[in-house]
Amino acid sequence: MPGIFTPALGLPYPSLQHPAPPMGKALVVYGGSSSVGSMTTQLATAAGINVISVTGAHNVQLSKQCGATQVFEYKDTSVVEKVVDAVRRSGCEFVGIFDAISIPETYAHDLAVLTKLGGGHLACTHPPPPAASVPLGVEAGMIFAVSDVATPVWKDYVTLALEAGRLQCLPPPTVVGKGLEHIQEALNISKAGVSATKLVVVL
């Protein structure tokens, strides 16, 4: 998107080696049970990254299934302090936060965590918070699934990892129906709110 900074988390590419050699880096994934968050957690784990996830209380096990080493509930009033403590106790270098939800409510938590940890990168799936609200030492920007950085993941990892069972299709799908006539129904369900599932319309 023109004018929107793309953050550089500086993470290594995922490996088919299992388990992946630890890289000594920690990444917080906010929205770890969402479709994007689940994939991010799996890719980061396959790159040897220690992933700490924030999700809903009923989706803790899903985030752990994706590879998160610790999972915290976003409605917990102490979630910021717990995430900060987990990062510090991990003994890993903190690289930043990947926010798969990217709304004002999640940005408030993101920026509080980043401030307490002395800064870092905030990678957003929507336009980032206003620059005036971003503390010094924090670089916030919008990240894309298709880019020169992401291309090797699709080209060299995804298919092979799926075939080897290293990459899982999570969260599980909910098939709304078959045919274009079900698109609006799926949009209505999405608007009403879904959790830990991917809505699918079969064509």
CATH code (residue 125): 3.40.50.720
Q: Say if residue 133's pLDDT is above 80.
A: yes
* 98 and 188 co-located in one domain: no
The answer to the question of residue 5 being in a domain is no
Is residue 48, in this structure, part of any structural domain at all? yes
Residue 20 placed within a domain: no
- Considering the domain architecture, whether residues 103 and 59 belong to the same structural domain is answered as yes
pLDDT tens profile 17-32: 988 999 999 999 999 9
Residues 123 and 183 in one domain: no
- 184 and 128: one domain? no
- Whether 127 and 192 map to the same domain: the answer is no
| Residues 98 and 176 both lie in one domain | no
Q: Provide the β-strand partners of residue 201.
A: 177
Instruction: Give the helix/strand (H/E) hosting 47.
Output: none
How high does pLDDT run on average in the chain?
92
Judgement on whether residues 184 and 137 belong to the same structural domain of the protein: no
Shared-domain flag, residues 143 and 64? yes
- Rounded CA separation 53/44 (Å): 12
Residue 148 has pLDDT above 90, yes or no: no
Interacting residues of 171 by C-beta distance below 8 A, sequence separation 6+: 33, 34, 35, 38, 62, 196, 197, 198
Q: Is residue 91 part of a domain?
A: yes
Contact criterion met (CB below 8 Å) for 171 and 34: yes
Number of domains in the chain: 2
**Domain housing 180:** 172-203
Q: Give the whole-number percent of the chain exceeding pLDDT 90.
A: 83
Is the pLDDT higher at 196 or at 111?
111
| CA–CA separation, 97 and 54 (whole Å) | 10
Rounded CA gap, 5 and 1, in Å?
8
User: In terms of domains, do 37 and 136 share one?
Assistant: yes
Q: State the angle between helix axes of 79-90 and 104-116 in degrees (0 to 180), rounded to the nearest 10.
A: 40
Question: Which residues share a beta bridge with 29?
Answer: 53, 98
For residue 163, tell me if it sits in a domain: no
